[in-house]
Amino acid sequence: MNFSDLPYLLIGIFSGITSGLFGIGGGMVIVPAMLVLNESSHHAIGISVLQMIFAAIFGSYINYKKKNLNIKDGIVIGLGGLLGASFSGLLLKFLNDISLTTIFLCVSCVFFIKYAFGVKENAVKNERSTLQKNIILFIAGSFTGIFAISLGIGGGLLIAPILAYFLGYDSKKVVSLSLFFVIFASISGVLSLSTSGVIDHVVIHKGIIVGIASMIGVFIGIKIIEKMQISSHRKILLCIYALSILGTTHSLLKKLAIISF
């Protein structure tokens, strides 16, 4: 490890804090940050997905110890994510850097608008049978796994609104389940991306550095969320979206400018 690894360490810590706070894999921070560091979109996604394993496992362990994680629900949604994410490598074979960056930017903008204009959580607990609930969890995991890992964002931010709307889960339960989901999706994603040649020795080196640093951030994030008010939680989330959108937009414009010349 040398001085050039310092930006990756700092990015890892910051992304880990977002993982602990919002139940995400950290890709909304890592992918645009890697693009700013002139990594290709494919390498940025590979680094992001690899570090998610570190952040998600460590964060889920802490949540489980604090009795904030429902393992049964987590396994059902995780198995769905495992299935969906297995198709991520195939999708990346057919998309170039600009296409991937554009898709990521569009996803970021959609969810930024969704949260910025005050979409409220469904606080009403829907009365559903165990079978119905498990079907919803599995489908939500599968759908999110297909698209999230392909974009290197883990899926926490995509899956949270689904759980809140269809199952009426409160924000605390959504955060812990989302982070647990990322374990399954990221492992499947790493295997798929490795098979497709996206993850090489460079991605592994940088992904491990970012991943270890993210564990420090996860610990900090979970400590913060225990004392944070809901209004403050939402404002910080919006700031993360805004930073991600700005970084990705800058990267996309730079790539388009290179092509135009």
- Cα separation, 180 vs 175, whole angstroms: 9
Residues of the chain falling short of pLDDT 50: 119, 121-124
Identify the pLDDT of residue 122. 45
Q: What is the pLDDT of residue 182?
A: 83
Q: What is the pLDDT of residue 124?
A: 44
Global pTM reads: 0.74
Q: What is residue 101's predicted lDDT score, i.e. its pLDDT? A: 74
Q: pLDDT tens across 144-195, in order?
A: 777 666 666 656 666 766 777 777 776 667 778 888 988 887 887 788 788 8
The residue with tokens 């990322």 is: 182
Q: How many other CB atoms are there within 10 angstroms of residue 64's CB atom?
A: 15
Tokens 């959609």, residue located: 110
Give the largest Cα separation in the chain, rounded. 59
**pLDDT given at position 134:** 92
Helices (H), the chain: 6-22, 27-36, 41-65, 71-85, 88-93, 97-116, 130-151, 156-167, 171-195, 201-225, 230-260
What does the pLDDT read at residue 90?
A: 73
pLDDT at 95: 76
